[in-house]
Chain A
Amino acid sequence: MNLLDWIVLLVTMVGIAAYGAWHTRHTNHLDTYLKGSKTTRWGTIGISVMATQASAITFLSIPGQGFESGLGFVQNYFGVPLALIIVCAVFLPIYRKLGVYTAYEFLGQRFDGKTRLLGAGLFLLQRGLAAGVTIYAPAIILSTVLGWRLDLTIIGTGLLVIIYTVTGGSEAVSLTQKWQMGIIFGGMIAAFVILLVRLPAGLGFSGAAHVAGAMGKLQAVDFSFSPDKRYTLWTGLFGGLFLSLSYFGTDQSQVQRYIGGAALREGRLGLMFNALLKIPMQFFILLLGALLFVFYQFAPAPVFYNRVEWQHYAAGPNGSTFQALDEKNSALHVVEQEKIRAWLAARDSGDVSKESVTRTAMLDAEAASQAVRTDAKAALLAADPKAKTKDSDYVFIGFILDQLPHGLIGLLIAVMIAAALGSKAGELNALGTTTTIDLWRHFRPLAAHDEARNVRAAKWFTAFWGVIAIAFALFAGFSENLIEAINIIGSIFYGVVLGIFLVAFFLKHIGGTAVFWAAVIAQTLIFALYLLRHRFPVLGISYLWYNLIGCAACVLFGLILQAILGNAKSPSKPHAT
């Protein structure tokens, strides 16, 4: 990065944060602080919902996922449009009508205080656990590649988001997310265009897509019923539906984005905007990764994409092994290029038998290259058993630094940080709101009538969660595969929370006591499934299924417990604060 990149980065990031904080500095009404401005329109709501979900990991890891595994991950989002339609038709009108600040407040009104506390507690637990990851994930990658200090990167981004989120609450979050998404869309489109321009002359998008397709990178939809396959049409539709329904319908970081606004219509249109755009957006990011794979078939490709780590170990006592792997990779790379060009020529000639032979040769060459990459990872582990061997997260950032002109490098780094800030702000806002409304006000009901005190409490709790997130990012040891770590944590809790809400909406004869204990039993079951998955291979199912199982178990146990309790123990009185 040069001076121009730093100017672009700092002006966009600090400028947006300062604008958000300044513009909302007089936010003193609880309603505005927690729900945002009453004049917010559907475009802002839609962008805000999108920005809260799209963290920096989306733009760092997902191109890497497309590079390594192809487009199959897009199926993970197939449940999103269906879930958003249900949220629009059922959840949102009820939240709006009741005028709640949090989704869990609704549980208090529908069931009782303990169910509300359980819902809020599960949210705080799972969001709190994931709190550090959204800051840590981009920080570890950017600090590794750019040579920044990890602790300063975490603290810098963490403090920036705390300042404007605490100052302006929900209004500041929506306002800044709108600008951040502008930077993100602009940066990603620029990167995509430059990638297409940098492809070899004569190849073009169509040729690159054919190469990627032949290498198995463009298999977007898998109709397989195999339960151990992580991403298929069915896991996406069913597991993804439950995950998305729980995330968009019951996770306060999303609920808070759309319950405000000028009218019910604005929230609904904001959600429909996401229902239409989410899959194409994820497809575009994965396609970028798949095209990066093609790009690196023709450009010099490292054997291991986390080059800083590779060079660190290559300079160690096993340097000769690393050098030999580098040389072998370079030699195989040249061979693979020849095979790809031969296949493209055969394909263009229309000679079917020649096309088949050259295709097999090309795939063999790719397999040989992959084998060297596997050897490289084994060499890293031999040098240090704690070495990080997942390098796909470094593919896109490596391309940015190597191929983009100065100025655009700064813009793309700003994309990553903007995405981190946007999603973190939504999370902090929701954690602070839930702590204030569902815990603090619950235990101090007299304080509910003092608006200024409520706003002060919300600000302090937001800052508190921000500091917790920074501390967690600084001191916790996270797994390498961060995007999956977040999804697994979410899936463990989301199904049960969704079960509670589905009972609340659709099974009106079930009361608070039955659903409370049903949720406790269902959550214990999910914990057991997760913890015992290595001991009993039959339990080794895709984590997306936890959403469905947790939800179904909660509903089923609720029905059974209500039948047992019957009229002997009528549901407790509604609790509202």
Chain B
Amino acid sequence: MKPPIATEPSARETENPGVPGFRTWRGVYWFVFSAFVVVVVLLTLFSRMFA
């Protein structure tokens, strides 16, 4: 079997990303995911508004 180290992420998701307003990478991912949801909602509203 292959050494497990090969597939272990080296940087923990709880590390500080160095982005103002965020303390962990997980926080950055949640922000990006939320932005995506907002964009889809806005696109849906845009479609409805001009339908």
Contact = CB atoms under 8 A, between A and B. Distances in A.
A94 B9 CA distance: 5
Interface in A75-112: 78, 81-82, 84-85, 88-90, 93-94, 96-98, 106, 109-111
Interface-central residue, B1, B18, B35, B40, by most chain A CB under 10 Å? B40
A264 interface: yes
A259 interface: no
Contact of A221 (B9, B10, B43): B43
Nearest to B5: A97
A96 B9 CA distance: 9
A212 interface: yes
B4 interface: yes
Contacts of B6: 94, 98, 106, 109-110, 574
A96 B51 CA distance: 47
B39 A280 contact: yes
Contact of B50 (A90, A218, A283): A218
Contacts of B33: 81-82, 85
B2 A94 contact: no
A209 interface: yes
Given A88-B29, A571-B2, A221 B50 contact: no
Nearest to B10: A97
B39 to A, nearest CB: 5
A113 to B, nearest CB: 13
B32 to A, nearest CB: 5
A276 B7 contact: no
Interface in A258-311: 264-265, 268-269, 272, 275-276, 279-280, 283
Given A85-B32, A220-B47, A508 B2 contact: yes
Contacts of A110: 2, 6-7
Nearest to A574: B2
Given A90-B9, A97-B9, A265-B18, A78 B32 contact: no
A196 B44 CA distance: 23
Nearest to B32: A275
A264 B44 CA distance: 35
Interface residues of A, number: 47
A219 interface: yes
Given A82-B36, A89-B29, A97-B9, A213 B44 contact: no
A221 B40 contact: yes
B48 to A, nearest CB: 9
Contacts of A90: 9
Contacts of B4: 508
Interface of A: 71, 74, 78, 81-82, 84-85, 88-90, 93-94, 96-98, 106, 109-111, 209-210, 212-214, 218-221, 233, 264-265, 268-269, 272, 275-276, 279-280, 283, 504-505, 508-509, 511, 570-571, 574
Interface string B1-20: 11110111111010001110
Interface residues of B, number: 30
A188 B39 CA distance: 21
Contacts of A209: 50
B36 A275 contact: yes
Contact of A213 (B9, B32, B51): B51
23 contacts: A71-B47, A81-B33, A81-B36, A82-B36, A89-B25, A93-B9, A93-B10, A209-B50, A212-B50, A213-B49, A218-B51, A219-B47, A220-B44, A265-B17, A268-B28, A272-B28, A272-B32, A279-B39, A504-B7, A509-B1, A511-B1, A511-B2, A570-B1
A219 B4 CA distance: 47
Contacts, number: 102
Contacts of B40: 78, 221, 233
Contact of A220 (B19, B36, B43): B43
B2 A269 contact: no
Contacts of A84: 32
Given A209-B50, A508-B7, A89 B35 contact: no
A511 B3 CA distance: 12
Counting chain A CB atoms within 10 Å of each CB, the highest count among B2, B4, B36 belongs to B2
A264 B32 contact: no
A86 to B, nearest CB: 9
Nearest to B30: A85
Nearest to A90: B9
A276 B32 contact: yes
B7 A218 contact: no
Contacts of B18: 265
Nearest to B17: A265
A283 B46 CA distance: 11
List the 6 closest A-B pairs by CB distance, nearest first: A213-B50, A97-B10, A93-B9, A81-B36, A220-B43, A218-B50
Nearest to A275: B32
Contacts of A85: 29, 32-33
Nearest to B18: A265
B4 to A, nearest CB: 6
Given A81-B32, A221-B44, A571-B1, 17 more contacts: A81-B35, A81-B36, A82-B33, A82-B36, A85-B29, A85-B32, A89-B9, A94-B7, A96-B11, A212-B50, A214-B50, A233-B40, A265-B17, A265-B18, A276-B35, A279-B36, A508-B2
Contacts of A505: 7
